[in-house]
Structure 1
Amino acid sequence: MGIIYLSREAYEKLQKDLKQLKTVKRRQLSKEIETARGYGDISENAEYDAAKEAQGLNEKKVAELEEKLSRSQILEDADMPKDEALLGATVTLKDMGSGEKIEYMLVSDLEADFAKGKISVSSPVGKGLLGHKKNEIVEINVPVGVLKYKIVKITR
């Protein structure tokens, strides 16, 4: 698998989540397993089975986060051209059909949150904007047709 490009904020959030899972959550699940053992025969102990399953899921999440962090590279704004629609840029667009203005921040898949205006650079719109500059007209193929935008502003 390839490199995962992240903002410093996203990288630090992943590290924080990993620490939480490895410390607090592991201790909590360990206590739950011990408590469930106290209920008697573990071969017919639903609480024990549930706690062991939760422990397995936690360890899977730990492994996934460690793998993502090992492939992650932090992109600093200082390293990026200020006039190009790239990861970390906020792009203001004008819909050439309706005249409506739209603003998106281009982020990694891990950071994408459409409700907050954060779209992944691997989404159709994100891919269509990458590398373009202010005042360029872009046509983006999406499942419902073609979107046509003018790039009004790019900020970091």
Structure 2
Amino acid sequence: MIDRIPMSVRGNKKLKEELLRLTRVERLDVVKAIEVAREHGDLKENAEYHAAKERQGMIEARIMDLKDKLGRAEVIDCLQVSCKRVVFGTVVVLLDLDTDEEVTYQLLGPEESEVKAGSISVLSPIGRSMLSKEEGDEVVTKTPGGTREFEVVEIKTGDFA
């Protein structure tokens, strides 16, 4: 069973660029570093060689991870989503009912969410609790810090984050 990964057009492009950089630049650089380290002799006590091999393993693991995520990506154009309800890609203005402060988030996939940049994952507790809500609806979510209550003030399309 293949679980689809929701991803914005921009998030998909970013992952493809990272994959390209890893396969065309970093992979080749680490192979050269391994060759240079081999020339230094005894591999058992060659710290440069072991560091380069470890780096190679991390690069290859990330390449496999990116290929997997891109292969399962369900790319969604955030500028084309409906604003009637909170869905993937929408920008949501929430009113924190405890503090009367407004916060704005864009709902994105787990690979591209970054709270400091204003985006949260649709799979996060608050993201899941916002899905399908309409303007004026109350959102109650359980977080590690306790239960939080919000009101959906506005839902809009856009490439916010």
Task: Give the structure-1-normalised TM-score.
Answer: 0.92
Matched, 1:71 2:64: no
Taking only the aligned residue pairs, the percentage that are identical comes to 33
1:40-119 correspondence to structure 2 within 5 Å: 40-77=41-78, 80-119=81-120
Partner of 1:15: helix, strand, or coil?
A: helix
Partner in structure 2 of residue 145 of structure 1: 146
Q: Structure 1 segments of 4 or more deviating over 3 A?
A: none
Query: Which residue in 1 is equivalent to 2:36?
Result: 35
**Residue 22 of structure 1 pairs with residue 23 of structure 2:** yes
1:133–1:56 distance in 2 versus 1, CA, 3 Å: same
Which residue identity does 1:99 align to in structure 2? Answer: D
1:124 matched to 2:125: yes
Letter in 2 for 1:98: T
Question: Partner residue of 1:8?
Answer: 9
Say which SS state the counterpart of residue 33 (structure 1) adopts: helix
Deviations 1:68-116 (A, max 9, x none): 1111110123653222111111111112233211111111111111111
Q: Alignment partner of 1:9: what SS?
A: helix
1:9-45 deviations in Å (ceiling 9; x for gaps): 0001101100111110011111111111111232332
Q: Specify the code of the residue in structure 1 equivalent to 2:30.
A: L
Distance 2:26 2:47 in 1: 20
Secondary structure of 2:17's counterpart equals: helix
Moved more, 1-10 or 71-80: 71-80
Per-residue deviation, 1:140: 2.0
Aligned-residue CA RMSD (Å): 1.5
Counterpart AA for 2:46? N
2:9/2:78 contact within 8 Å kept: no
Matched positions, count = 156
Amino acid at match of 1:97: D
Q: Which amino acid letter does the alignment assign opposite residue 45 of structure 1?
A: N
Letter in 2 for 1:75: I
> Which deviates more, 146-155 or 37-46?
37-46
**Higher mean Cα deviation, 48-57 or 78-87?**
78-87
Letter of the 2:153 counterpart? V
> Structure 1 regions of 5+ residues with no counterpart?
none
